[in-house]
Amino acid sequence: MDINKLIAIRRAVYPTQYNKGEIDKETLEQLLENANMAPTHKMTQPWFFKVYKNEAKARLGQAMVQAMEAHNPDDLRFDFKKKKTLEKCRLSNCILGIFMKRSTAVSIPEWEEIAAVAMAVQNIWLSCVDQKIGCYWSSPQYTAQMHSFFDLNANERCLGLMYMGKFDHTTLPIKERVSMASKVEWLV
């Protein structure tokens, strides 16, 4: 697909929009290979991922609900959010945990490592368009409470989850951006 078109039609696609199609292992492996080609300062390659499918996906949902409660025990909307979270897990064919590993060998600012992970995620997101997979990056506030569930080391951090499912439609309404002209200064 033409690169301009692919970028233009990429959308955040939510679990209620997914169909029941299976995302096969080969496709997931290719998406992850594409993530691995992201640019990375000093080659620290700070991204890593965990792939949740089937029963593991259901366990992830339960862990999310627990973390949500621990993060905000007085949340009056807890029951609603719990139901919504478990539903999102059920409707997704696959969920990727998105993680950053801070380099201990070379010193670069954390923002550069977060940026590199985001570029890896964008590679996955764009590749999903090509594969007729809907996905979106979710960044819940309670992922710090899931450190032990994710089995992370001290220099590792969860940067959110990518919900994924096969998706029938190729064009969704664009969420309008403020014009690029207002965000660029040409000094020529």
Ligand X SMILES: Cc1cc2nc3c(=O)[nH]c(=O)nc-3n(C[C@H](O)[C@H](O)[C@H](O)COP(=O)(O)O)c2cc1C
Binding positions for ligand X, rule: CB under 6 A:
11-12, 136-139, 160, 175
Contact by Cβ (8 Å): 40, 46: yes
Q: Do strands 156-166 and 133-138 pair parallel, antiparallel, or not at all (unpaired)?
A: antiparallel
Q: 25 or 83, CB closer to ligand X? A: 83
Q: 8 or 107, CB closer to ligand X? A: 8
**How far apart are alpha carbons 125 and 34 in whole angstroms?**
10
CB of 125 to ligand X, least distance (A): 8
**How far apart are alpha carbons 49 and 59 in whole angstroms?**
17
With tokens 């660029």, the residue in question is: 184
CB of 67 to ligand X, least distance (A): 14
Helix (H, G, I), strand (E, B) or coil at 75: coil
Q: 55 or 176, CB closer to ligand X? A: 176
Angle at 182 between CA 177 and CA 186, to 5 degrees: 130
CB of 123 to ligand X, least distance (A): 13
**How far apart are alpha carbons 104 and 81 in whole angstroms?**
37
Helix (H, G, I), strand (E, B) or coil at 29: helix
CB of 126 to ligand X, least distance (A): 11
Contact by Cβ (8 Å): 141, 159: no
Q: 17 or 30, CB closer to ligand X? A: 17
CB of 49 to ligand X, least distance (A): 15
Q: 77 or 185, CB closer to ligand X? A: 77
**How far apart are alpha carbons 101 and 110 in whole angstroms?**
10
Q: 40 or 85, CB closer to ligand X? A: 85
CB of 149 to ligand X, least distance (A): 18
